[in-house]
Amino acid sequence: MTQTKTSKAGKRKSSAAKSTAAKSIMKTDRIKRNPGIPFDEDAVRYLPANLSAIERRAATLGSRRSIKKDWQIAWMLKAVSLIDLTTLSGDDTPGRVERLCAKAKHPIRTDILEALGVGDIGLTTAAVCVYHNMVATAVKELAGSRIPVAAVSTGFPAGLSPFKQRVAEIEASVKAGADEIDIVITRTHVLTGNWKALYKEVCRFREACGDAHMKTILATGDLATLRNVAKASVVCMMAGADFIKTSTGKEHINAVLPVGLAMVRAIRNYRDETGYRVGFKPAGGVSKAKDALQWLVLMKEELGDRWLQPDLFRIGASSLLSDIERQLEYHVSGRYSAYNRHPMA
């Protein structure tokens, strides 16, 4: 009799955790878009970044919280809803993008979701991210799904094509139907301390984006120091960035927690000073479910629950989704499956 009661209590607890996950995924409130502010060179020049303190704090993120069982499942479902499902390869084809879009609309197999008791939450990824020449294909495949299409732009990944060409590329992607534009900055402006030039560049890119939201890729692996990362973050937000993003995924170092911590603290300070909320996107190298959970912990602890919604937090990834799906199936079946049971694109 005692065992029966325990079992029922366990089921109620499990159901509550899954219900919380579902509500959390769907919950959001509209935010006022960051319009940018006038350039303030003094605010940039004296901006600190304590490397040792940032590294110590980042090192605690994987150990301070232990997320287990149903709550771990809830957090992984949340992570799925925050993924910008991405393909940025030289051998991309319309067929690959079509498959990617199909996966974005149904990221986790139906049998797994039903076994977890969350088959009715309408889970999708946050967006699909592609090169400009694949925007039209993605827009067509995602029609009616409410999943936005993001296009990388401005000479991605190096950002070294002629300036007018980079602006024209943004305008072409918006015209083709892209809802979001992931732009890359000129790293030379950061490395030489030419912050006013960076500000003007990002302002022009924001103008070209129009109503499309702009994610500003800092390519942090190329910026040499965390202080440069913090300064570039602030300048891009001053110029009207809707998101700041770590990497293109093509640098030798991509999304790492110390860099993320420097960026989200810049976001927090910007919100405190201006009242505007700016989003954050780690991208490149986030391929395991446990990595995604660490980024979620970072956002929750540094910026709060509101930054766990897709309008303020994204994870740029592709193989991450396969690993999360494997972990969810393991929770259901008790066995790890082969990756080919979880096709990505």
Q: Which residues are catalytic?
A: 182, 245, 281
Which residue, among 269, 271, 283, 285, has the nearest Cα to 231 in the 3D structure? 269
Contact 129, 150 (CB under 8 A): yes
* Helices (H), ranges, 118-179: 135-141, 163-175
Backbone angles phi, psi at 81, to 5 degrees: -70, -10
Backbone angles phi, psi at 285, to 5 degrees: 90, 0
Q: Give the C-alpha separation, 108 to 125, whole Å.
A: 10
Instruction: Locate 116 and state its tokens.
Output: 């977890």
- Radius of gyration over every alpha carbon of the chain, rounded to an integer in angstroms: 20
Strand ranges in 242-313 using DSSP code E only, listed in sequence order: 243-245, 279-281
Q: Give the C-alpha separation, 305 to 116, whole Å.
A: 23
Instruction: Locate 332 and state its tokens.
Output: 């259901």
Q: How far is CA 272 from the centre of its chain?
A: 22
Residue 127 β-bridge partners: 84
* Inter-axis angle of helices 319-333 and 69-80, nearest 10: 150
